[in-house]
């Protein structure tokens, strides 16, 4: 399982005079879980927003499966095979759990059809149920999403991203705000996901990241600080200085 999936070439992002990202060049191979870490304000979220099309980079290029993504509107990114979840739970609260995922599955095929019955699109319904089963939410399919627990909403968040069968799955702090029990479930889910897909993960919980990832990319002040296997990152003095030392308590 090799072959380059995503190549980032000299990506930079400026907000007015503020430099959020500068000269990031990195490439991601298919079929592994890579984590992106860094202290608050390191530019992780900006980087993720660029990879998912929510922000347009000020400079640099994105190549995905040999195609340049620059200039593509955000809603086309999913159609290219890049799907994301959000750090702050971002679901459709007043729709059922099943409909949350079904509507995401539908985006790739029948958006503007007004002549068919959505209840009869059985293939989409089945795909939504498969995604719900993968995150352990099938039993809750009929409930309104807003009535789920926080941990369940985080899992739904991932099911929404997963149902488009993305080549690249971007997960922004999937364990944000979770207790230890819920975090354990989520880690198990991430391990299952990483068996079959290419996953990019932004996380704060250091131990979790180092145990889970094949590779870790460290950002600091908008620049690439280190890039390597978890063991290398753990022993990298630069990384220890800016990140590990100060966040030992993060667990």
Sorted by sequence, the CB contacts under 8 Å of residue 76 that are 6+ apart come out as 53
- Our CB check for other proteins shows the closer of 49 and 183 to be 49
In the chain, the DSSP E strands lie at 4-15, 18-29, 33-37, 59-64, 67-68, 82-84, 168-172, 198-202, 215-220, 223-228
Q: Residue 236 has which token pair?
A: 């990298």
Q: Does 126 bind other proteins (CB under 8 A)?
A: yes
Q: Does 119 bind other proteins (CB under 8 A)?
A: yes
Q: Which of 26, 138, 228, 234 binds other proteins (CB under 8 A)?
A: 138
From residue 195, give the alpha-carbon distance in Å to each of 32, 192, 204: 8, 5, 22
Question: What backbone phi and psi angles, to 5 degrees, belong to 67?
Answer: -110, 140
Least distance between other proteins and beta carbon 159 (Å): 12
> Which residues, numbered 150-189, are part of the site for other proteins (CB under 8 A)?
160, 164
Q: Residue 217 has which token pair?
A: 């990319």
Least distance between other proteins and beta carbon 180 (Å): 28
Least distance between other proteins and beta carbon 109 (Å): 8
Contacts with other proteins by CB under 8 A: the residue count is: 47
CA gap 189, 162 in Å, rounded: 12
- Our CB check for other proteins shows the closer of 132 and 186 to be 132
Q: What track of x and - describes contact with other proteins for positions 46 through 85 (by CB under 8 A)?
A: ------x-x------------------xxxxxxx---xx-
In 74-114, the DSSP E strands lie at 82-84
Contacts with other proteins by CB under 8 A lie at 52, 54, 73-79, 83-84, 86, 90-95, 99, 102-104, 106-108, 110-119, 121-122, 125-126, 128-129, 133, 138, 141-142, 160, 164
């Amino acid at each position: 399982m090799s072959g380059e999936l995503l190549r980032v070439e000299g990506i930079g992002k400026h907000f007015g005079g503020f430099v959020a990202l500068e000269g990031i060049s990195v490439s991601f191979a298919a079929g592994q879980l890579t984590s992106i870490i860094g202290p608050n304000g390191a530019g992780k979220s900006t980087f993720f927003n660029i990879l998912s099309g929510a922000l347009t980079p000020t400079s640099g290029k994105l190549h995905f499966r040999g195609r340049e993504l620059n200039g593509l509107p955000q809603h086309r990114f999913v159609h290219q095979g890049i799907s994301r979840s959000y750090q702050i739970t971002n679901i459709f609260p007043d729709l059922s759990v099943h409909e949350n995922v079904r509507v995401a599955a539908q985006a790739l095929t029948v958006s503007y059809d007004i002549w068919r019955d959505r209840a009869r699109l059985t293939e989409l319904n089945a795909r939504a149920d498969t995604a719900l089963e993968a995150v352990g939410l099938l039993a809750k399919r009929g409930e309104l999403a807003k009535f789920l627990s926080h941990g369940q909403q985080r899992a739904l968040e991932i099911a929404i991203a997963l149902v488009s069968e993305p080549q690249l799955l971007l997960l922004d702090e999937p364990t944000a705000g979770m207790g230890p029990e819920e975090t354990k479930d989520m880690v198990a889910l991430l391990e299952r996901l990483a068996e079959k897909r290419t996953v990019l993960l932004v996380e704060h919980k250091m131990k979790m990241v180092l145990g889970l990832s094949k590779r870790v990319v460290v950002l600091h002040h908008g620049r690439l600080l280190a890039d390597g296997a978890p063991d290398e990152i753990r022993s990298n003095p630069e990384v220890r200085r800016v990140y590990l030392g100060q966040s030992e308590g993060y667990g």
